[in-house]
Structure 1
Amino acid sequence: MKITADALLFDNDGTLLSSLESVNRCWSRWASEYGLTAEDFARIALHGRPAAEIVADLLPADVVPEALARIEHLEVEDAGGTVALPGTLALLASLPAEQWAVVTSAGRRLAEARLAHAGITAKNLVSADDISRGKPDPEPFLLAAARLGVDPARCVVFEDAPVGLAAGRAAGMTTVALTTTHRAEELSADVVVPDLSAISAQATDGSVEITVAG
């Protein structure tokens, strides 16, 4: 299967790299510090959402600024365990830097720390610090398309989380789901693959031809 696009937009955690162990460590420690239980977390969606939204869902408003700063500190300090997922480095190396972007629900400082530890250099990055509405709102992906100067309809979104795929669809973009953190039946996308090792790309005349294995 082949897809032609002008830009490729990648979610970060669970798509380009894995920080799952770090996330579990940091949020467990944070929850303990703030007296939260597993039941508190069970009632809200965590993956793919900005930390600010999660914290606001769990704690009183007057505690949120301090608690948000605490989880961001914990995660940045623990970013060293981040690793690139299969296929990530090879795929990115085949792409011109101006034709792809990272679109993440993490703050810029945390996103840059995780990318650096995974050996990824991103020229274009849209983080939670750049937007007013996070995924599943299309704003993050539309902003990335605007920064790259491309039509949203000519973008392909790579995501592992339902909220991210919903954001990509709402932006009018082609969506590719990775089953790195969710089962295939939980993901609604144009294409579903195990990870980025199933994707190859060839840049030609300002566009990118994507080949999906299998």
Structure 2
Amino acid sequence: MRSAPYAAPMKITADALLFDNDGTLVSSMESVVRCWTRWAEEYGVTEEFARVELHGRPAADIIGDLLPADRVAEARRRIDELEVEDVPGGVRLLPGTLDLLAGLPQERWAVVTSAGRALAEARLAEAGIRPGLLITADDITRGKPDPEPFLLAAGKLGADPARCVVFEDAPAGLAAARAAGMRTVALTTTTIREELDADIVVADLSAVSARAVDGGVEIIAGE
């Protein structure tokens, strides 16, 4: 592991903050498990599904590990349908989310998620989160752990990747951020601390504060 949790808060000045959604801003893991379990049963891949890494990866990549290439598009439509239908009542805000986002200039942050656009927009709307920029699996050709999603977000915000801070709860997302040359704050909302390779590790966003400064955002993160 590259880092250990800091005993004292760490201050970072950044051009932009990039947030994963599920497991970082909100939690819909019960919905995710419910929908994907039903999907696996429908497609007869329950046993294989149990061995696949699910969290933090685009649906098309997960499906590609389980089904032949000619079935991926149709199967992707089906899981999208199941998950969007399950959004009402299936999303909850994680601690600190709204307080942190409320202090950020709209042009200095984005949500970068492995979900498709329809699902991402539905989950964010359910939680009352309205990002100025949303990058989804529909906007890219290579998903996390590839750096493309984060680099695309930085480019659209006009931010230097080296001066971006990524907030993630999944190893795949943290790997993508590192590959993009960005600093990382990991949350232990879905993954144990020992499996998170990041510049700093916190329990959730309630351990992070932010304020606008000349040319960027200053964050203080630590427990």
Q: Match for residue 77 of structure 1?
A: 85
Shift of residue 62 of structure 1?
2.3
Q: Distance in 1 between matches of 2:132 and 2:45?
A: 38
Shift of residue 98 of structure 1?
0.5
Q: Distance in 2 between matches of 1:84 and 1:208?
A: 23
Q: Distance in 1 between matches of 2:42 and 2:159?
A: 44
Quick check: 1:141 aligned with 2:150?
Answer: yes
DSSP 3-state at the match of 2:70: coil
Greater RCO, CA 8 A, separation 6+: 2
Shift of residue 204 of structure 1?
1.3
Q: Distance in 1 between matches of 2:175 and 2:23?
A: 16
Quick check: 1:91 aligned with 2:100?
Answer: yes
Quick check: 1:28 aligned with 2:44?
Answer: no
Q: Match for residue 110 of structure 1?
A: 119
**Residue pair 2:200, 2:222 contacting (<8 A) in 1 also:** no
Quick check: 1:157 aligned with 2:154?
Answer: no
What is the identity percentage for the equivalent residue pairs of Structure 1 and Structure 2? 74
Q: Match for residue 208 of structure 1?
A: 217
TM-score (norm 1): 0.97
Shift of residue 206 of structure 1?
2.4
Q: Match for residue 4 of structure 1?
A: 13
Shift of residue 213 of structure 1?
3.4
Q: Match for residue 69 of structure 2?
A: 61
RMSD: 0.9
Residue 181 of structure 1: which of 164, 183, 190 is its match?
190
Shift of residue 42 of structure 1?
3.1
Q: Distance in 2 between matches of 1:173 and 1:135?
A: 14
Shift of residue 132 of structure 1?
0.5
Structure 2: 5+ residue stretches without partners: 1-9
Q: Distance in 1 between matches of 2:195 and 2:54?
A: 15
Q: Distance in 1 between matches of 2:63 and 2:222?
A: 39
Q: Distance in 1 between matches of 2:152 and 2:141?
A: 11
**Residue pair 2:166, 2:184 contacting (<8 A) in 1 also:** yes
Q: Match for residue 101 of structure 1?
A: 110
Q: Distance in 2 between matches of 1:137 and 1:66?
A: 24
DSSP 3-state at the match of 2:65: helix
Shift of residue 109 of structure 1?
0.6
DSSP 3-state at the match of 1:62: helix
Instruction: Note the alpha carbon deviations across 1:80-104, whole angstroms, 9 max, x for none.
Output: 1111100001100010110000000
How many residues in Structure 1 have an aligned counterpart in Structure 2? 213
Instruction: Note the alpha carbon deviations across 1:85-143, whole angstroms, 9 max, x for none.
Output: 00001100010110000000011110000000011111101100111110111110000
Structure 1: 5+ residue stretches without partners: none
Instruction: Note the alpha carbon deviations across 1:50-81, whole angstroms, 9 max, x for none.
Output: 00111111012222221110000000111111
Q: Distance in 2 between matches of 1:62 and 1:51?
A: 15
Q: Distance in 2 between matches of 1:123 and 1:176?
A: 21
Q: What code does the residue aligned with 1:73 have?
A: E
Q: What code does the residue aligned with 1:53 have?
A: D
Q: What code does the residue aligned with 1:71 have?
A: I
Q: Deviation above 6 Å: which 4+ runs of structure 1?
A: none
Q: Match for residue 7 of structure 2?
A: none
DSSP 3-state at the match of 1:146: helix
The more displaced of 56-65 and 99-108 is: 56-65
